[in-house]
Structure formats: C-alpha cells, structure tokens
Amino acid sequence: MALLCMAMILVSCSGEDGEQGLQGEQGNSIKGDPGPPGEDGISCWDLNGNGAGDTEEDVNNDGNFDALDCQGKDGINGEDGNANVRRFNISLEGYSGSTFNIPFPNEVTAEDIENSVFFFYILKDGGRYLVPGMGPGGNFYVRAYYSNSIFLQFQQVPEFNAYVMPEGFLGDELIVIVAETNLVGKNNQESLMSELKAAGVDTSDYHAVAEYFGLE
C-alpha cells in the first residue's frame, strides 16, 4: 500500500510544461555625451599657422587671404627653338670658274657657323633656286659647303663633271638664311629639318621657308 502511494505521488509531480511567456519590451539605449570639437585645420595660405592673415601671406597682393595665395609663381620661360633667324644677300658679281669661294658677311661669327643651320638659294631673274640642287637652266648641279666661308661647286649634268661657270651666268645673288638653334652640330640641323617637315614646309620653296621664319 505504501509503494502504491509513493508511485501515485511521483506520477502526479511530472506534469506538462507551461506555455512560453510573452517577450518583454526592449529597453532604452543610453547615448553617451558628445565629444569635444576637433581643432580647426590650417589654411594653405597661413604660413605660420597662427590663424590670422599676415602681410607676407598675401602672396598675390590682392588684399585677401585665400586659396589664390597658395598658387606658385610662374616658372622661367624656356628658350625659343629658333632664337634668331637672319637673311643675307651676297652679290655674285665677279665670280666665275668651277668653284666659288664666297666669304661670309662680317655679321656671321664663328659661333653662328657652329650653332646655326644654313639655307642657300641662288637668285636669278626673280627665281630662287635651292643649293644644293639644280641650277638655273637645269643643265648643271650646284653643291654647297661651308666652314670659314661658303664654297660652291658646279657639276655638269648628267655626267657630273666639273662645270665652268661664266661670270654673271649663275645668278645675281646668293641668298643665305642663318637660323640659330639651341643644339650643336649634326643634331642641330636634323632637329630643325624635322621641325620644318612637321610644319609642312618644303625647303626647296624659298618663300615657304622665309615665311616660316618670319622673313616675309
């Protein structure tokens, strides 16, 4: 009888679980106090960082202290590609033979000869013929060399034998264009010739060359 009562007690103590209760309300979040404000940045014009406009900080002298005072000064201009171009007309009166040795004008210095590119044209009856190239009439070829003076050499076409030039036959004048550049030697000439080619200038056309260099 006692065991039966004990069993009844154990069975009566193992009842079903109750239902889950309702979810509670969310609590209020607590915000912290605002932090202290950050320090002001330094303006680009404020050279000494004191926050005030000082006389020496008005770089452009416009009476204001602003970003315009932060711009650097213009740099030094570079040198022009052609610093100086000159033209000389040398009379051919009195010259004859298979070669002409023509002195440079006094204005052309040894430094000019070293640092310049030379263009030669024969002027005859209003026409201008590039040297080196075919001479007036088309039956002789003219070559040009220069060092301390200008050396013209004439060759008969098509044999290219020496051609003896009668006095007054070649032309009236030798036109010499002296174009100074910033380079020296072979690179000097190659650079300028490339520049002319890129600009569409035909060096056999005297007027095109003269116009390009501002001589006309």
pLDDT (0 to 100) of residue 63 = 77
157 Cβ neighbours under 8 A, 6+ residues apart: 134, 138, 139, 140, 141
127-131 β-sheet, strand order? 84-91, 173-180, 116-124, 127-131
Backbone dihedral region of 209: left (phi > 0), alpha (psi from -120 to 50 degrees) or beta?
alpha
119 Cβ neighbours under 8 A, 6+ residues apart: 130, 176, 177, 179, 203, 209
pLDDT (0 to 100) of residue 19 = 65
pLDDT tens string for the chain (216 positions)?
444 434 444 444 445 555 665 666 666 656 667 767 766 666 775 666 677 777 766 666 777 767 665 664 544 444 444 448 999 999 999 999 999 999 999 999 999 998 899 999 999 999 999 999 999 988 899 999 999 999 999 999 888 899 999 999 999 999 999 998 765 555 677 888 899 999 999 999 999 999 999 998
Q: How far is the C-alpha of 185 from the C-alpha of 177, rounded, in Å?
A: 17
What are the CA-CA distances from residue 161 to residues 99, 131, 190 (Å)? Answer: 12, 18, 30
What are the CA-CA distances from residue 208 to residues 19, 25, 54, 120, 199 (Å)? Answer: 106, 94, 57, 14, 10
Enter the pTM of the model: 0.60
Domain ranges of the chain: 84-212
